[in-house]
C-alpha cells in the first residue's frame, strides 16, 4: 500500500458535470496539498491544509472546491470546469514542521489525470 | 519569494555516461532540499533529501550535494542507464511546510 493514494487515476468529464477527486494518506501526516501539473508547465500549488484547516488558496478559481474532513483525507470537488483545466492533479502530504523540528519530506500520490471535454 | 531554477531543461546522453543536473534557489534560508523523479503520467518519487546542515547525500548511483550559501544543488548520476530516463525535479522547503519546486530536467538515456 502506497503512502498517498489517489482515486480515480483517470477521469473524463464534461464541462457541466460535477465530480470529485479523492486523496488518502497513510503516513500520519498533518498537512495535505493539491497541486496541478499541466503539460510543459511547472507544478502549481493549489491548496494547503494544516490540521484540517485550509492555510493556502493559491488564487484558484471557485470551480475547484477542496474539502478536508480529517488529517488523512482530502477531496477536490470539480464543477463546470473548462478544457484548460485538463491536467494531472497531484495530492501530497507532509508533517507540519516546528521551529525545533522543521518540516521534512513531502510525499506524493500517483496523481489523477483529468480530461475536460 | 523563493524561486527555484533547474538547468538544463532537457538532457540526452548515451548509456553509461556520468551526468550532473543543476538546481539553484534564490533564498538560502531553507530547511532542506529534495530531489524527485517523475515518470510520464505518474506522481513524484523522492530520491534524496538533504537537510540544510548537510553537504551531500548518496543513494546507490545517485549523489546530491548542497551549497546553501551559494543557493546551489547538484544531482550526480553515475553510469546512467535507460531506466534512469525521467524528469528530475528539485524542491526546497521554506518556513514550516512550504515547498518550492523547479520546472525539472527531462533526462533521456539512450541505449
Q: What is the pLDDT of residues B30-87, one digit of tens each?
A: 888 999 999 988 899 999 999 888 999 999 999 999 999 999 999 999 999 999 999 9
Closest of A66, A114, A111 to residue B36, by C-alpha: A111
pLDDT in tens, A20-75: 999 999 999 989 999 999 987 889 999 999 888 888 888 899 999 999 999 999 99
CA distance B66 to B79: 21
For residue A24, give Cα distances in angstroms to A30, A76, A80.
12, 12, 25
Contacts of B99 in chain A (CB under 8 A): 45, 94, 106
Give the pLDDT mean for B74-101: 91
pLDDT band at B17; cut points 50, 70, 90: very high
How close A28 gets to chain B, by Cα (Å)?
A: 15
pLDDT of A1 above 80: no
Name chain A contacts of B101, Cβ cutoff 8 Å.
42-43
Is residue A87 within 8 angstroms of chain B, CB to CB?
A: no
Q: Which of A:36-75 have CB within 8 Å of B? A: 41-43, 45, 48, 50
Are B97 and A97 inside 8 Å of each other by CB?
yes
Scanning the structure block, which residue is given the C-alpha cell 498537512?
Answer: A31
Contact list, A48 vs chain B (CB under 8 Å): 97
The dihedral of CA B26, B42, B45, A50: what is its sign?
positive
A72 closest CA partner among A1, A2, A4: A4
Distance, CA of A25 to CA of A72 (rounded, Å) = 5
How far, in Å, CA of B88 to CA of B76, rounded? 11
The reported pLDDT for the residue numbered A97 is 64
Residue for grid cell 501526516? A29
pLDDT in tens, A9-35: 999 999 989 999 999 999 999 899 999
Amino acid at each position: 500500500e502506497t503512502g498517498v493514494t489517489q482515486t480515480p487515476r483517470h477521469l473524463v468529464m464534461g464541462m457541466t458535470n460535477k465530480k470529485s477527486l479523492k486523496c488518502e494518506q497513510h503516513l500520519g501526516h498533518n498537512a495535505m496539498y493539491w497541486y496541478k501539473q499541466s503539460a510543459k508547465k511547472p507544478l502549481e500549488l493549489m491548496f494547503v491544509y494544516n490540521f484540517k484547516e485550509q492555510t493556502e488558496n493559491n488564487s484558484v478559481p471557485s470551480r475547484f472546491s477542496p474539502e478536508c474532513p480529517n488529517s488523512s483525507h482530502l477531496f477536490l470537488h470539480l464543477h463546470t470546469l473548462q478544457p484548460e483545466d485538463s491536467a494531472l492533479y497531484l495530492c501530497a502530504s507532509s508533517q507540519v514542521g516546528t521551529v525545533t523540528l522543521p518540516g521534512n519530506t513531502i510525499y506524493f500520490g500517483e496523481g489523477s489525470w483529468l480530461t475536460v471535454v | 519569494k523563493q524561486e527555484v531554477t533547474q538547468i538544463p531543461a532537457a538532457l540526452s546522453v548515451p548509456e553509461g555516461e556520468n551526468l550532473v543536473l543543476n538546481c539553484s534557489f534564490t533564498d538560502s534560508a531553507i530547511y532542506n532540499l529534495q530531489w524527485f523523479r517523475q515518470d510520464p503520467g505518474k506522481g513524484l518519487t523522492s530520491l534524496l533529501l538533504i537537510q540544510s546542515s548537510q553537504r551531500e547525500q548518496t543513494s546507490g548511483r545517485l549523489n546530491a550535494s548542497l551549497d546553501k550559501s551559494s543557493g546551489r544543488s547538484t544531482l550526480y548520476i553515475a553510469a546512467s542507464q535507460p531506466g534512469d530516463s525521467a524528469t528530475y525535479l528539485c524542491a526546497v522547503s521554506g518556513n514550516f511546510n512550504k515547498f518550492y519546486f523547479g520546472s525539472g530536467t527531462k533526462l533521456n538515456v539512450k541505449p
